[in-house]
Every structure is written in structure tokens, then in C-alpha cells.
Amino acid sequence: MPAASTPPSISLVEPKQVGKVLHLPASGRAIVCTDLHGNLPDFLAVVEAFRQALVDNAGDAYLLITGDLVHGPRYSPRNWPEHLGSFYRDQTEEVLDSYLELREEFPQRVFTLIGNHEHSHIGGPDTRKFHKDPSETEFLEATVGAEKTEVYKAFFRTLPITCIMGKGVIATHGAPRVLSAGYDEVSQVEYGGHDHLTVREMLAVPVLGELFWARNSGPLAVRRFLRRMEVNDQPNHIVIYGHDPVRKGYLREGDEQLCFSTSFGLKNEKKVYLELDLTREYKTVRQLRYGIDIIPLYPDLAAARRRRPSSASG
């Protein structure tokens, strides 16, 4: 049993990072997207949604990416495997540089969590999702060169691992299968020192393996995790994450979990991002509705798709 500790109290009128935990206040809107994996056009579409949210909310909007900005496939259109969704060219370097520029423009409004792919550069095992030799980690570092690699690594080391936002919404990279860690352990987690582990071994590492390698988690474990992460007496109700692509764009798991896919592994017409009202208390993921809170990344393509009755496949 984890020791009971006093829930932290954090003054929240603006975003605040406490160790590896990012807090966003209960004010304005948040555009949330997942797993871009080097897809520049998708990143730019998300940025457009964020800029529109700024306009619509008198500047009170946030952009949160739940990790895995980096590493994409390297197939030609001819050899592109069906399971990777719509074809794109890996532009990890451009995505990272555009992200860093946007963050400079909106320093307190633009955030990203660390994903397992970023972690591979600063203490996690190399990732080999798209190619094995070289690994994606080696490939990116060789492509951008030593100097830029250090810039990126320094940036990755500053990233939070989870975000607690608004009135009880938590964002993580993968499904939160966190067995016993509470707020303090998550906040104080160190990224370094796991380079030598296999992915299987990594899954067993507390906090890191539990937050950005897991594909699913049971309702009981999730409820307990949400409880342990509470601050300021605000109950946490739901958790949102990506990491594992869901074909339809989003998938609710019980009352607490929403897995959604903004980019990687999906057809363009199925890609979605979230637009959350941070002043609202979402008590279950069923309150997140398609077209209102779950928004197609390419509305025209999504609408065309829905109009064609014969295309209603599973």
C-alpha cells in the first residue's frame, strides 16, 4: 500500500510545472493532440486549430501535445504499409523546429509531454518501430548532427510526463497503468538510466514504463491513479491519451479513459484532436462528444467520408 500523503495544494492562475507534472488552470480552452511522429502537415493543422482557439477565446487557449512528436516511417508511397494510415514523409526535424518556434511565440500556452520516442534520446531504450538498423533514435541524431542533437536532448529533458488540467482531466502519453506511484513519485521521476533495457523490461519500470509504454489499463487501476494524482481537492475524473493508434480516431474505455489518434497510423479522414473547455468538469469520457469536444483534424474529408453510405465499414 502506498503511504497516504497530504494532497498537494498548488496556486493555479497560470500554467505551472512541478517537477515532471504540468498543471493547466481551469480557464479557457485546450487543444490536445497525440503522436505526430514527424508529420508536419498534421502538426500545422493542429497549430491552425490552436490559433483559432486563441482568437475564439480572447487569447485564453492552450496547446498540449501528449508526446511522440518525433520519429516517422521511411517508406516510399509504393511500399507504404496499409496499417500506417495516410502516406506522409517523416519531417521530424521540421516538426521539432516548428514546435520550438511556436513555443517561443506562446511560451505559457504551448506544451508537450514526453513520449517513449523522445525518451529514447535521453535515457530510454532506442525505438525501432519503423526501422531497426539504424534505430530511429540513431537515425534522427545522425540526420541532425551532434550540435542540434544536444539542443533537442536538452529540450526533451525539460518535458513533463503528465498534465493535470482544468477540472479533473489528466493527459498521459500511453494508458496509465500505474500500480502504486502517487503524485510525488510521478513529479520526481528521473528520465535517465534506462538505455540498456529492452522494451519488455522498460514496461516494468515504475512510472516511466507505466505511463508511456502501456497500451491499456483496467478501470480500477485508472481510478486509483486518478485519485492519487489529485491536487487542491479537485477530483480527477478522466484520462486522455494516445500512443496506440485507434482506427476510428477515438475509443472510450469505461467512464474514465479516452484513447484518441490525431495523426500517426490513421487515414486523414479519421484523425481527431480534442478541444476541451477547461472551466467544465467532465465527469465521464461520455461527455466528450464527436464534433464538439472530439474534432476531426480535416473536417471536409471527415464529412465527405460520412456522407458516403456505402463506405460505412468497420
> Closest separation between CB of residue 74 and Mn ion, Å?
18
Smallest gap from residue 34 Cβ to Mn ion (A): 9
Q: What is the dihedral of CA 111, 85, 212, 125, to 10 degrees?
A: -110
115/168 with CB nearer Mn ion:
115
245 binds Mn ion (CB under 5 A): no
Our CB check for Mn ion shows the closer of 118 and 141 to be 118
User: What character string, x for contact with Mn ion (CB under 5 A) and - otherwise, covers 252-281?
Assistant: ------------------------------
Within positions 11 to 70, which residues make up the interface with Mn ion, using CB under 5 A?
A: 68
Q: 207 or 278, CB closer to Mn ion?
A: 207
Binding mask 64-83 for Mn ion (x = CB under 5 A): ----x---------------
- String marking each residue 144-163 x if it binds Mn ion according to CB under 5 A: --------------------
**Minimal distance, residue 40 CB to Mn ion, in Å:** 18
Q: What is the C-alpha separation between 94 and 108, in angstroms, rounded?
A: 22
Binding to Mn ion by residue 92, rule CB under 5 A? no
Cα Rg of the chain, angstroms = 19
Nearest distance in Å: CB 152, Mn ion = 17
Q: How far apart are CA 45 and CA 298, in angstroms?
A: 8
Q: How far is the CB of 216 from Mn ion (least distance, A)?
A: 13
Q: Cite the beta strand spans of the chain per DSSP E.
A: 16-18, 21-24, 29-33, 61-65, 110-112, 162-165, 169-171, 238-241, 250-253, 257-260, 272-277, 294-296
Pick from 65, 190, 28, 181: which is nearest to 119 by CA? 190
Q: Write phi, then psi, for 240 (nearest 5 degrees).
A: -120, 140
Q: Is 7 helix (H, G, I), strand (E, B) or coil?
A: coil
Write out the H or E segment, with its range, that includes residue 234: none
Tell me: does residue 243 bind Mn ion (CB under 5 A). yes
CB 200 within 8 A of CB 31: no
The smaller minimum CB distance to Mn ion, of residues 204 and 303, is found at: 204
Chain position whose Cβ is nearest to Mn ion: 243
Least separation in angstroms between residue 264's CB and Mn ion is: 8
CB 211 to Mn ion: min, Å: 11
- The phi and psi torsions of 117 (rounded to 5 degrees) equal -75, -40
- Restricting to residues 111-140, name those near Mn ion by CB under 5 A: 115-116
Dihedral, CA of residue 142, residue 148, residue 152 and residue 155, to nearest 10: 160
Q: How far is CA 76 from CA 6, 79, 186, in A?
A: 54, 5, 40
**Residues at the contact surface with Mn ion, assessed by CB under 5 A:** 68, 115-116, 243
